[in-house]
Structure 1
Amino acid sequence: MLSCLSNFRGTTGFHKELARSLNTRFPLYSEDKEACLAMFLDPRFKSTLFRNNKQKLVWLKDLVLQDVALCPAVEVVQPAAKVQEPQQCVQPSSDVWSAFDNLANSQVASTPLSTSEWEIKAYSEEALLKKDSDPCDWRRTVGTFRYPSLAKLCPKYLPIPATSVPSECAFSVAGEVVSVRRERLLPDHDFVPGEAKYDTLKLLFKPETLAKCETEDDIKEFFRSCHLEEDGADEPLVECRQRGYMDDPMNTDHCWRETELWNIHYDGAENLQDKMQNHLLWRLVTEDLFMKLPLGQSVLLHEVTKSLQASII
């Protein structure tokens, strides 16, 4: 970037000040574990920063292997185990081919670690992705199948964690723009406290019917209030079945959306339809629905439908 700016007249002072500010705010970026892992797992950059530093390359490889070892095992095709045959007493032989037999018997099956090392080597030698490419798309298509061990680390380091801290903090003289001590981010990129994540419901239901939707209890109370009491009718089932992050084609900033999937079931009469906005409609779960939805939503909906043992028309 500095080299590019230096080619334009009138930017000399700007690019010098920019370089000074970056060095002041991020003096040890090449030693930051999270930053280096995110750079390596991004197929547009990989280990370009350390291409002339063998010691750093070894350090980076060890970091990746340590993180891979902490992830759930990836199913890989392993060589078939050799069937153990009854042992036979064989007299020592001076035959020259016995050396090959001993060599073959000493070979061991590949382990997850050796598989991970192979992935790192092949991934590092592969050409860089174009800078305008989407690394998340690469992970979903190529990475998951070609480098399954590395792909498991991508959701941990590639997504940008959501935050409610205003952008003005980037210009704070304190210097800690991104820190593990940021009090508004929960561990492992969980939901950000303080964010009005249920405000979207206000667009789906009439304002006078949904006065408060700040907490999970507010949501449960709203859907339970739609139940019309009848003799013999059970209380409605209102539960959050799944929460997490989902990639979505509407995202243009490579962030993953916070997602909650709720299961609401009424045994008796209800007036939920009366509280819905006119543009909110019911949708039956049919086979063609999965083909129309984005891949991430389709897989999630199919898993939940299966777990609820619901009928797919």
Structure 2
Amino acid sequence: MSLATLLDPRFKLIGIVSPLKATETTKRLVTECGALIRTPEAVPQENPSTSQPGEQETPGNKLGHKLDQTVKMSRRTKNATADATVEVQRYPAELNIGRLEDPLNYWQTQKHVYPNLHKPAVTFLCTPASSVPCERVFSKAGEVVSKKINRLNPKTVEKILFLNKNQ
């Protein structure tokens, strides 16, 4: 819930009462964003069997190539964490949007400004599951089918409920 609060542009850090909790949530968001940046979809993988022009396929070259790949991956990891940190620090510094504005519209317009925060924001700001509409239909069905009215055809009950809910 704290990540959803932080990623909601109406509240951001203001919605998190405890400063300790706000710091923990910010660190967790940096970790989440860094992990997203490092995923194989975000980083194109090079073919390890491709060698530079003029290089021979010798065991020494394979070892050198392996070391080069390790260094590149280390740079990507450091850059991913740095990029995530910069983005997470920039986001709360912006002004909050109005309380009645739609946070998902905000993230749709800001996905180019905060490309690494966009995906977690959309994930954490999803609509919460609710059984209220289902409960209302069952409640209405209980009113339609009662001890006094119990000989209705199931198709008729279905049509009555459909018409009642879609007036």
1:55 to 12, 20, 41: 20
Task: Note the residue ranges of structure 1 that are not aligned, 5 or more in a row.
Answer: 1-34, 77-107, 170-313
Please state how far the C-alpha of 1:72 moved relative to its aligned partner.
Answer: 5.2
| Residue pair 2:37, 2:80 contacting (<8 A) in 1 also | no
Q: Which amino acid aligns with 1:149?
A: N
Please state how far the C-alpha of 1:67 moved relative to its aligned partner.
Answer: 2.2
Report the TM-score, using the length of structure 2 for normalisation: 0.51
Identity of aligned residues (%): 23
Q: Partner residue of 2:105? A: 137
2:7 to 41, 53, 57: 41
Equivalent residues in 2 for 1:271-310, closer than 5 Å: none
State the Cα deviation string for residues 127-151 of structure 1 (Å, max 9, x = none): 1011121111111112x11111111
Structure 2 SS opposite 1:146: coil
2:132 to 161, 166, 173: 166
Q: Partner residue of 1:154? A: 121
Q: Partner residue of 1:117? A: 85
State the Cα deviation string for residues 143-170 of structure 1 (Å, max 9, x = none): x11111111102211111444x23698x
Q: Partner residue of 1:71? A: 36
Task: Note the residue ranges of structure 2 that are not aligned, 5 or more in a row.
Answer: 44-74, 136-167
Structure 2 SS opposite 1:130: coil
More helix by share: 2
Counterparts in 2 of 1:63 and 1:155: CA distance versus 1, 3 Å: same
State the Cα deviation string for residues 215-235 of structure 1 (Å, max 9, x = none): xxxxxxxxxxxxxxxxxxxxx
Counterparts in 2 of 1:161 and 1:70: CA distance versus 1, 3 Å: farther
More strand by share: 1
Q: Distance in 2 between matches of 1:50 and 1:162?
A: 23
State the Cα deviation string for residues 81-127 of structure 1 (Å, max 9, x = none): xxxxxxxxxxxxxxxxxxxxxxxxxxx88611111111111101111
Report the TM-score, using the length of structure 1 for normalisation: 0.29
State the Cα deviation string for residues 219-253 of structure 1 (Å, max 9, x = none): xxxxxxxxxxxxxxxxxxxxxxxxxxxxxxxxxxx
Equivalent residues in 2 for 1:203-282, closer than 5 Å: none
Q: Distance in 2 between matches of 1:62 and 1:122?
A: 14
